[in-house]
């Protein structure tokens, strides 16, 4: 009788359909949790790039003001601001564009606007005093 039991155990190799379906369900549940979390991380990382770019714009404007006595206010000077003062290009990693919404000799506001798959993120802005605003209240904190 013992030999028959051993032979039955040896012939049972592989997975049953139920076991395979359980593995597929578990992998599906894990993927359903992981993908949205990953998307959120990516959105926050792209937003961090935009924040950094706006801080660079503000620093470049301050360097310009230290040299020239006023903030950069015309298009030709903006090109110089980008090439020699460290301001970033107008497109930030294909997910944001930035521009000046206010430009005077004594004040400026730079705004980064989300585009493409990041568009739901709205806009971020910084002014000459370092005051940070955004379309949605929590965007500078996260």
Contacts 24+ apart (CB under 8 A), 69-78: 70/105, 70/106, 71/103, 71/104, 71/105, 71/106, 71/107, 71/108, 71/128, 72/103, 72/108, 73/103, 73/104, 73/105
Q: pLDDT band at 40, cuts 50/70/90?
A: confident
- The token pair at 55 is 């801080």
pLDDT of 110 above 70: yes
- Res 86: pLDDT: 85
The 3-state secondary structure of 55-112 reads: HHHHHHHHHHHHHHCCCCCCHHHHHHHHHHCCCCCCEECCCEEEEEEEECCCCEEEEE
Confidence at residue 16, expressed as pLDDT on a 0 to 100 scale: 86
Q: How far apart are CA 77 and CA 64, in angstroms?
A: 9
Average pLDDT value for the chain: 87
Q: What percent of the chain has pLDDT over 90?
A: 51
The CA distance from 62 to 45, in Å, is 26
Residues 41-95 have pLDDT tens digits of 999 999 999 999 999 999 999 999 999 999 988 877 888 888 888 888 888 889 9
3-class DSSP state of 25: helix
pTM of the model: 0.76
Structure confidence at residue 80 (pLDDT): 84
pLDDT at 1 over 90: no
Range with the poorest average pLDDT among 12-16, 35-39, 75-79, 126-130: 12-16
């Amino acid at each position: 009788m013992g030999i028959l039991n051993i032979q039955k155990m040896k012939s049972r190799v592989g997975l049953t359909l139920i076991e395979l379906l359980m593995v597929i369900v578990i992998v599906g549940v894990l993927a359903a949790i992981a993908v949205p979390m990953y998307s959120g991380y990516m959105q926050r990382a792209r937003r961090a790039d935009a924040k950094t770019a706006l801080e660079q714009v503000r620093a470049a404007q301050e360097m310009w003001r230290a040299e020239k006595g006023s903030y950069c206010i015309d298009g030709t000077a903006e090109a110089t601001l980008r090439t020699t003062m460290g301001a970033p290009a107008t497109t930030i990693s294909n997910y944001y564009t930035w521009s000046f919404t206010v430009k005077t000799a004594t004040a400026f506001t730079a705004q980064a606007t989300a585009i493409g798959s990041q568009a739901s993120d709205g806009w971020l802005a910084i002014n000459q005093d370092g005051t940070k605003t955004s379309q949605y209240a929590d965007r500078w904190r996260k």
